[in-house]
Structure formats: structure tokens, C-alpha cells
Amino acid sequence: MLKSIGTKLTLSVIGSVMVSLVFMIAIISYEVSRNMEKEAEIALKMASKRYVNYMQSTLDEPFLLSKALGTSVQQVINDNGSIDINVLENFTKKALDSSIYTTYAFLYIKDLSVLSGNKDKDTQNGNLSIVYNDSTPGIDGGIKTFIQNKNMHNSMPVISKIENNVHNGEQKVTFGSVKRFDYGNGEFLGINLGIPIFNQKGDFAGVVGFTLELSQMSKTLLDPSLNFHEGDLRLLLTDDGTFVIHENPKAVLQKINEYNNSPSVAPILSAIKEHRDILINNFYTATGLTSYASVSSFSTLEDSSHWSILVTTPKNSVLEPLYHLQLIIVAVVVIFLIIISAIVY
């Protein structure tokens, strides 16, 4: 009889304690997870904004170089009717050598009347097509010259884009598309941009511009030391949703909705195309991880190009400390129940 009463009392106490502790664990877990999610979202948004500052300044550099070089060259042509080819080359080399991030400059002159001096040595097929490479960006010197045997008008889509803009009354610095280039110094991923040059009559004469190689930007953005949590991703996309920096080389130059067919991509892609920011907590990566995702969109000077940084972090990684806390609480509860049971019984 007494044993029966003792057993019932023990079970009653254990049951009451268990119910109370379950509620306590649930409340603690809910509050902790909510706070951790808020902190993760804030950290993610701040991180994406911080990466924007670096990317924006890097992409703005060749824009400023193109504008400065184009203005200088055009002023000489306007004043004298032409520019000595040696002066043009020196202008271009000095502009490239002054850069920190930009590694290539190019000259395309289709109207050779704007050139004077010994121009025959560098002209091919009735035009001037030269590429310069700075092998030591940020350090004086290291400029190499690559005469292009093929017509750059055909191999550089940005040139025809600039010429079309001129026909539409636009005389601005223009960005091309990210693609793979090979100027005779090995293949690389980069983007061209340039500005039109005109003869004294105001007719289109050619393009001066620069090519930004993306390898250093990629190395910086993908640096593992920037990870806050295991599985973090930092990606750079163009405003049509094309990856230009991704940890998976096979994803580069693919569109985000082609690489990842999850429905959660839709709001991300919409924000990218509309050049706006977004923060979501239910994004599914291409590998199936449920993640927080932040998009920070930005533009280069004079709205000349538009880009987005996408940063994701897996929920499991963010909430891992909570899972450890829950295990500790459960372990303490089990030990506590064993002690209570022994005392009451």
C-alpha cells in the first residue's frame, strides 16, 4: 500500500516537474531563437553593405579612368584636329599605371584621321587596336603592350554598344557585359567599359577604355576568413541575376534562377532586377540549405551599371548555439529528475 502511494507520488512529482520543464525549455528556446534570428539578420545586412563599399569602389575606378582619359584625348583632338599616337599611348599607359585595381586598358580608333605621327606601325586592317596590361597594379611600371591582330570592334561587344549609344545621342562611359577575355596574356573573367572619341566634325572616331579583371575581387569576396558561420555564401551578381563571383566556378556566368530552381529565388531575383535591397529568412540554397539571405544592390557612378551582393548564412549554423543550450537543459533536467525520484521514493 505504502509502496503504491509512494510510486504514485513519485510519478506525480516527476510528471509535474517534466511538464513545467518542457514549458520552460519551449519558452527559453523560443525567446533565444527569436533574438538570435534578429541578430543574424542584422549582422547579415551589415555584412552585405560592407562588401558593397569595396565592390563599388573597385568598379568605380575604371569608370573614372575612362572619363579622365577620354576627356584628355578629346581635348587634344578638339584643339589640334588630331593627337600624336605616342601622346595617346602615353596618356593611356599613365592612366592605367595610376590604377589600383584595373589591369587592362584598350584603344580602338577606326577613324585614323584623328591620329598623327608614326601611326602605321600599330595599325591593323585600317584601324588601331591595342591592349595594355599592367602586371603590377598599384605599383609604378609593369605595362605591357599587346597589338590586336583581330578587329576589336568584333571581339569587344562594348565597342559596338558605345557606337550605338552615340547614334542615340549618348556620349557617356558605358559598361559592357562580364565575359571571359584573352588578349594574348591568358584567359580571364572581366568586364570592359569605355568612352567614345570623336573627330573635329563630331563624328564617331573610336573608343578608349579599360578592362577590369575580376580575379582579385573574387579572391577578396570569397575569403573564408569573412565567414561568420559555417556555410556562409557571398556572391556578386549583375542586374539581370547573372553570377559573376561564386564559390562554385561552374555557377559563374549562370543566372541565379537557372542555377537554383527553388521558389525562394523569385523575391531575390526581383530585388536584383529592380536594384533594391531585401532580407528574407526562408531562402533555400542550391544545395538545399534553409538560410537567411540579404541582397544589397548598388550602382556605379552616374548609374552606369548596376550590381547586387547576395549574402546567405544557413539557419542551422546560426541556431547551433541554441541546440547546444537545449541539450544542456535536457541533460540537467534528466539528472534533476533522477535525483528527485530517488529522494521522493
- Does 248 score more than 80 pLDDT? yes
Residues 137 and 186 in one domain: yes
Mean of the pLDDT values across residues 187-203?
96
Domain contains 339: no
- Does 326 score more than 70 pLDDT? no
Q: How sure is the predictor about 319, in pLDDT bands with cuts at 50, 70 and 90?
A: low
Domain contains 329: no
Q: What is the residue range of 306's domain?
A: 36-51+229-321
pLDDT score at 274: 97
Domain contains 224: no
Q: How sure is the predictor about 62, in pLDDT bands with cuts at 50, 70 and 90?
A: very high
pLDDT score at 10: 64
- For strand 127-134 and strand 104-109, is the pairing parallel, antiparallel, or unpaired? antiparallel
- Does 145 score more than 70 pLDDT? yes
Give the domain-ending residue among 186, 216, 246.
Answer: 216
What is the number of structural domains in the chain? Answer: 2
- Does 2 score more than 60 pLDDT? no
- CA diameter of the chain: 118
Greater confidence (33 vs 258) lies with 258
Domain contains 305: yes
Residues 206 and 289 in one domain: no
In the three-class reduction of DSSP (H, G, I as helix; E, B as strand; rest coil), residue 261 is classed as coil
Q: How far, in Å, CA of 97 to CA of 132, rounded? A: 10
Instruction: Give pLDDT tens digits for 119-144.
Output: 777 777 788 889 999 988 888 888 99
Tell which residue, 40, 61, 36, has the closest CA to residue 217. 61
pLDDT score at 255: 97
- Does 265 score more than 90 pLDDT? yes
pLDDT score at 6: 61
Mean of the pLDDT values across residues 99-112?
94
Least confident of 47-51, 188-192, 294-298: 47-51
Least confident of 51-55, 175-179, 313-317, 324-328: 324-328
Give the domain-ending residue among 188, 216, 244.
Answer: 216
Residues 87 and 236 in one domain: no
Tell which residue, 249, 188, 30, 204, has the closest CA to residue 114. 204
Greater confidence (323 vs 77) lies with 77
Residues 47 and 178 in one domain: no
* Cβ partners under 8 Å of residue 250, min gap 6: none
- Mapping DSSP onto H, E and C, the string for 260-320 reads CCCCCHHHHHHHHHCCCCEEEEEEECCCCCEEEEEEEEEECHHHCCEEEEEEEEEHHHHCH
Domain contains 10: no
- Does 67 score more than 50 pLDDT? yes
Other beta carbons within 10 Å of 205: 23
Q: Are 25 and 329 in contact (CB under 8 A)?
A: yes
- For strand 115-116 and strand 83-84, is the pairing parallel, antiparallel, or unpaired? parallel
- Does 185 score more than 90 pLDDT? no
Q: How far, in Å, CA of 325 to CA of 334, rounded? A: 14
Residues 122 and 205 in one domain: yes
Residues 47 and 97 in one domain: no
Amino acid at site 53 = N
Domain contains 334: no
Q: Residue 101: which CATH number?
A: 3.30.450.20
Residues 295 and 183 in one domain: no
What's the mean pLDDT when you consider all of the chain? 86
Instruction: Give pLDDT tens digits for 152-166.
Output: 878 889 999 999 999
Greater confidence (125 vs 6) lies with 125
Q: How far, in Å, CA of 96 to CA of 337, rounded? A: 74
Task: Please give the DSSP secondary-structure letter assigned to residue 155.
Answer: H
Amino acid at site 214 = L
pLDDT score at 4: 63
